Structure 1
Amino acid sequence: MVPLRQPVPTFVQLAAHPLRWQLLATLSGSDYRVREMVTLVGEPQSLISYHLRLLRDGGLVRATRSSFDGRDSYYHLDLDRCSQMLGGTGAALHPALGRTPPPPLFDPKTPVAVLFVCTGNSARSVIAEALAHHYGNGRVDAISAGTCPKPDMHPNAVRVLRDEFGIDITGRRPRDLDTLADHRFDKVVTLCDKAREVCPQFGADIRSVHWSIPDPATPGGTDEDTNYPAFQATAAEIDGRIRYLLPILTTQP
């Protein structure tokens, strides 16, 4: 009997190339600019840009314009898309392989300390802090701060946490990053391209992670009706990134 010819799944076609796999692995830990990936991967910029374009066309990688330098872009791995395609790849080989078991949870003796940083500490980093606490179930000690904190929380940050996730941060005030200089963290996450450029090191053994997420606030505006959809989209992206970050924090001592 002649076996049926099955098409090679798209994920396998994209990820099987050694350099593309290396780029995917690099972007799994943090968002990077092309010139940073040239240093990390050790290949010419033209070659990396070519393969990044293929990964973008395949939906595995996305790019956002840097808010620090508009001539630059940050690339990041679309983990939801990768998860869907990996599930489809497994199912194409055998139906039972399409189900991915949840990762085991590590129960630390003390909560894992995570710092989230953006410029104003009035929206992005506060949303990340709240969601890390929400999903961490006592295993994550999350805190957030700003490199140039705003006087007050953006009302839509308060609203989106309350309406979309049932989290109340009423009364929370932005925190200055300088007040945390003596603190020890297991992971530092910057959510703002500008904050990444000025965020201090919290120890040589602390690996920082960067998420290039645009500010959802309309410049100079706080009207809840006009820019609330931008806050919903930002909170959804942060929610996804937090859900993928926690297994890393909670599976390794």
Structure 2
Amino acid sequence: MTTTTAPDASKTPQVVYACRANGGRSVASRLLTEHYAGGRVIAISAGTEPGEHIHPEVARVLESLGLDTSRESPKLLTTEMIAESDLAITQGCGENCPYVPGARYRDWPLDDPKGQDETEVRRIVADIDGRVRDLIVELVPDIDLPPSLLG
């Protein structure tokens, strides 16, 4: 007789946010996830062609929302990061995004905030904010989300 065990409902879900430079969209997604999930979702971010630093226009907007970007530095996206995550959210990493058999992927078509003015960066961050909030509720249905940082 074989028995199968149900997935561990107490396991903290892990999401990897992947974009090209790991300097804007994926960083905003990770920081917003950490803020709203309060430790109930593990969020990592990485890029297929990581830059040297996060985009300053993105850092300014995130800092204005109370999110600390001082410890952020772009990292290379690896197959291990995807394999160890419950979900990989792609955000413009294109053809270079590693494919891991069996991994769950979801694409978020987001505009690139690099080089954009503050109004445009805020619009992109607001788009990410809504997507992140929806994702957290999907991953942790019983969570009591704090109000949006964007009012």
Instruction: Using structure 1 for the length normalisation, give the TM-score.
Output: 0.50
CA distance in structure 2 between the partners assigned to 1:207 and 1:183 by the alignment: 9
Residues 1:139 and 1:181: Cα distance change in structure 2 (over 3 Å): closer
Deviation at 1:113, TM superposition (A): 0.5
Give the structure with the larger helix fraction: 1
Aligned counterpart, 1:185: 85
Q: 2: CA distance between counterparts of 1:181 and 1:211?
A: 18
Residue aligning to 1:209? 106
Q: Is the 8 A contact 1:185 1:202 kept in 2?
A: no
Note if contact 1:133-1:142 (Cα within 8 Å) is conserved in structure 2: yes
In structure 1, how many angstroms separate the alpha carbons of the residues matched to 2:48 and 2:114? 17
Q: Which amino acid aligns with 2:60?
A: R
- Structure 2: tracts of 5 or more residues without a match: 1-8, 143-151
Indicate whether 1:144 and 2:45 are aligned. Answer: yes
Q: 2:64 aligns with which of 163, 174, 177?
A: 163
Question: 1:82-136 CA deviation, whole Å, 9 max, x = no partner?
Answer: xxxxxxxxxxxxxxxxxxxxxxxxxx52321000000000000000000011111
Distance in 1, Cα, partners of 2:137 & 2:99 = 24
Confirm or deny: 8 A CA contact 1:184 1:202 kept in the other structure.
Answer: no
Please give the root-mean-square deviation of Cα atoms over the aligned residues, in Å.
2.2
Alignment of 1:108-123 (within 5 A): 108-123=9-24
Moved over 2 A (4+): 178-183
Deviation at 1:179, TM superposition (A): 7.7
Structure 1 unaligned residues grouped into runs of 5+: 1-107, 219-225
- Amino-acid identity (%): 34
Please report the TM-score for the alignment, with normalisation by the length of structure 2: 0.81
User: Are 1:196 and 1:210, in contact at CA under 8 Å, matched by a contact in 2?
Assistant: no
Relative contact order (C-alpha < 8 Å, sep 6+): which is higher? 2
**What is the CA-CA distance between 1:199 and the residue it aligns to?**
1.2
Larger of the two Rg values belongs to structure: 1
